[in-house]
Homo-oligomer: A and B are copies of this chain.
Amino acid sequence: MVSFDLLKKVEKGEYSAEQAWKLLEEGQDGFDEMGYAKLDTARKARTGFAEVVYCSNKADDHLLGIYQRIYQEEGEVLGTRATPGQYEYLKGYFEDLTYDRLSRILKIDKKGKEYLGLVAVCTAGTADIAVAEEAALTAEFFGTKVERVYDVGVSGIHRLMSRLDRIREANCVVAVAGMEGALPSVLGGMVSRPVIAVPTSVGYGANLGGIAALLTMINSCANGIAVVNIDNGYGAGYLAAQMNRLALGI
């Protein structure tokens, strides 16, 4: 976007009107036209995080092109909802590509990445772990230290109590739960930091594909509960990384 500095430079003759206009057009765009997609190359400048690849349903060659372009720009790539087949296709092209079958994260990490601060990722049951891992790996990709606290749901709340001290040290807590989704409410009453609530589609009967848990969390009587979409571990991990950065002053 145009700045006073740029106008000043035109006034002083450092740039011609044509040169300034070209800069503006390029800057105004801030994306890479790839034919099958417009890569948002200005995103890191705007939001502090490079574009993340949503792999689901992408053609293999498109996915490869996008990974190559981001890798070249950033030296690392984070992809979500990837299939084993996509991993098979891409792994010949990138030495450090790793794939986690549970969370479906397909990523290339920078070597020697440091993990700072602390985020706790909790689940109510074992079936919620896939979503929790998507959150945890996302937060880690963005340089966050993560503590996993799994299977501590409210029907046996003593399991949660025994881990509470560690949870309280975190800059924020990700609480992943399906079925009735009560875990974030209990956590919200026990910690001083924000709780990011992730409803999952785990359950049966009247769980409405996770809507029941979503409603529980949105209506929580506890304070400091921030809700994301059903099964959206990625979104929770991203938010957690943002909050962790706040605490780190990054």
Point out residues on A near B: beta carbons under 8 Å. Answer: 1-2, 4, 7-8, 10-11, 13, 16-17, 20-21, 24-25, 28-31, 36-38, 40, 42-43, 46-49, 52, 57-58, 124-127, 150-159, 161-162, 171-172, 179-182, 185-186, 188-194, 196, 201, 203-208, 210-232, 235, 238-239, 242-243, 246-247, 249
Contacts and interface: CB of A to CB of B under 8 A. Distances in A.
Copies per complex of this chain? 8
B185 A154 contact: yes
B230 A204 contact: yes
Given A216-B215, A246-B243, A126 B37 contact: yes
A40 B212 contact: no
A154 B154 contact: yes
Contact of A205 (B218, B226, B246): B218
Contacts of A212: 215-216, 218-219
B217 A180 contact: yes
A133 to B, nearest CB: 13
A224 to B, nearest CB: 5
A152 B238 contact: no
Contacts of A221: 124-125, 153-155, 179-180
A206 B216 contact: no
B205 A210 contact: yes
A189 B155 contact: yes
A238 B224 CA distance: 6
A210 B207 CA distance: 11
A241 B219 CA distance: 20
Given A125-B221, A226-B226, 10 more contacts: A37-B126, A40-B159, A179-B219, A179-B220, A182-B186, A194-B243, A196-B226, A205-B231, A247-B247, A249-B249
Contacts of A179: 219-221
Contacts of A153: 221
A185 to B, nearest CB: 5
Contacts of A162: 25, 28-29
